């Protein structure tokens, strides 16, 4: 069997130089060296250390004049990897994350070599105190972040993707900019018959954050949710999903300004083009339901 070649991709806006330095050093300390490393400066020049730090494998840096958002920046890294044509798996890491254990890449390789239909591997994300936020556990039942298994979604901060899967499903939805891009890719992967595995033994340390820290969170979150279901769900489920989500949002949102921004994003999601409509098959709906998360929750 041919050697499985792993690449690492990091997208940064250049505002976390110390964190990027620590992340790259943790990549350099892995007991399995990545074949390639791609570092994308998303709308900002990369710090000089990112260019001169001694790293294993072939290192490629890309400076983008415009911030394309997280999914857009990752697509640039994927396009560069395709130009080389010699990578099987790409590990994508948040620029403020850290690989604590030295065997993460080797474990990723072993998981993929054991299952040719494994498309996505989700890492466990834990803060500096070792705690995993509930929103970072890709299951409806989130009481035990150490329980792994097959799931219906994955974590954007730390994960691995099979390049052959991406050639079937397509890349990240760049127009989302941020929010819900992982669900869009996960649903396409599931519909194409690929497995998604949550592997909590693969740890990415990441500072505790809230998605609402972004000023445009409520608007973009609502817009992208509407786009997501318009693109990926059978028509009867579009209505059900949005109805359930609307009720949950009204029950959970405590900020009047946030609710107003959410409503604006919801209307924007209905009015603006959502992109290519490729709804999942009903057997995929059933498969996701059997895994514990029907695509209406």
Give 110-155 pLDDT, tens digit per residue: 999 999 999 999 999 999 888 888 888 888 777 789 999 999 999 9
For residue 210, the model assigns a pLDDT of 64
The count of structural domains within the chain is 2
Structure confidence at residue 135 (pLDDT): 82
Question: What are 172's two structure tokens?
Answer: 């990240």
Domain boundary among 161, 189, 209: 209
Range of the domain at 276: 213-290
Contacts 24+ apart (CB under 8 A), 79-83: 80/38, 81/7, 81/9, 81/36, 81/38, 81/163, 82/163
Please report which confidence band the pLDDT of residue 179 belongs to, taking 50, 70 and 90 as the band edges. Answer: very high
Q: Does residue 183 belong to any structural domain of this protein? A: yes
Asked if residue 297 is part of any domain, the answer here is no
pLDDT score of 1 = 61
Range 95-122 average pLDDT? 97
Are residues 52 and 24 in contact, defined by beta-carbon separation less than 8 angstroms?
A: no
What's the pLDDT at 274? Answer: 94
What is the percentage of the chain residues whose pLDDT exceeds 90? 77
Task: Give the sign of the dihedral formed by CA 75, CA 5, CA 125, CA 192.
Answer: positive
Same domain, 261 and 171: no
- The answer to whether 233 and 280 have CB atoms below 8 angstroms apart is yes
Q: Is the pLDDT of residue 51 over 70?
A: no
| Residue 56 sits in the same domain as residue 129 | yes
DSSP assignment letter at 7: E
pLDDT at res. 216:
82
Instruction: Give the number of other CB atoms < 10 A from CB of residue 201.
Output: 13
Residue 254: per-residue pLDDT: 80
The predicted pLDDT at position 55 comes to 82
**173/97 same-domain check:** yes
Q: Let me know whether 226 and 173 are in one domain.
A: no
Query: Is there a single domain that holds both residue 191 and residue 224?
Result: no
Q: Which two tokens stand for residue 225?
A: 């949710």
- pLDDT digit string (tens) for 191-234? 999 999 999 999 999 998 766 555 588 999 999 999 999 999 99
User: What would the pLDDT profile of 7-50 be if each residue is shown by its tens digit?
Assistant: 999 999 988 889 999 999 999 999 999 999 999 999 988 877 66
Q: Model confidence at 267, in pLDDT bands (50, 70, 90)?
A: very high
Domain identity same for 136 and 174 = yes
Q: Which residue, 150, 236, 149, 143, is CA-closest to 186?
A: 150
Are 175 and 233 contained in the same domain? no
Residue 2 banded pLDDT, cuts 50, 70, 90: confident
Structural Rg of the chain based on CA atoms: 19
Q: What is the pLDDT, as a whole number, of residue 170?
A: 97
The H-or-E segment that residue 240 falls in is helix 235-252
Query: 162 pLDDT exceeds 90?
Result: yes
């Amino acid at each position: 069997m041919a050697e499985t070649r792993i690449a690492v991709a990091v997208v940064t806006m250049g505002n976390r130089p110390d964190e990027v330095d620590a992340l790259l050093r943790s990549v350099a300390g892995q007991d399995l060296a990545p074949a390639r490393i791609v570092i994308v400066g998303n709308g900002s020049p990369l710090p000089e250390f990112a260019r001169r730090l001694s790293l294993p494998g072939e290192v490629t840096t890309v400076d983008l004049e415009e911030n394309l958002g997280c999914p857009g920046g990752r697509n640039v890294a994927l396009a560069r990897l395709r130009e080389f044509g010699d990578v099987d798996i790409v590990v994508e890491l948040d620029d403020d994350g850290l690989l604590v254990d030295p065997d993460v890449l080797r474990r990723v390789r072993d998981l993929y070599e054991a299952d040719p239909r494994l498309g996505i591997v989700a890492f466990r994300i834990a803060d500096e105190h070792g705690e995993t936020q509930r929103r970072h556990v890709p299951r409806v039942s989130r009481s035990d972040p150490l329980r792994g298994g097959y799931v219906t979604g994955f974590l954007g901060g730390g994960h691995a993707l099979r390049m052959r899967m991406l050639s079937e499903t397509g890349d990240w939805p760049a127009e989302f900019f941020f929010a819900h891009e992982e669900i869009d890719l996960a649903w396409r992967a599931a519909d194409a018959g690929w497995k998604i595995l949550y592997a909590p033994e693969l740890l990415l340390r990441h500072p505790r954050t809230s998605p609402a820290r972004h000023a445009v969170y409520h608007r973009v979150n609502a817009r992208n949710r509407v786009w997501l279901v318009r693109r990926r769900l059978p028509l009867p489920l579009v209505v059900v999903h949005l109805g359930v989500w609307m009720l949950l949002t009204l029950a959970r949102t405590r900020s009047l300004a946030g609710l107003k921004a959410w409503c604006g994003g919801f209307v924007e999601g209905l009015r603006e083009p959502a992109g290519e409509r490729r709804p999942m098959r009903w057997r995929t709906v059933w498969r996701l339901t059997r895994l514990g998360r029907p695509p209406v929750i």
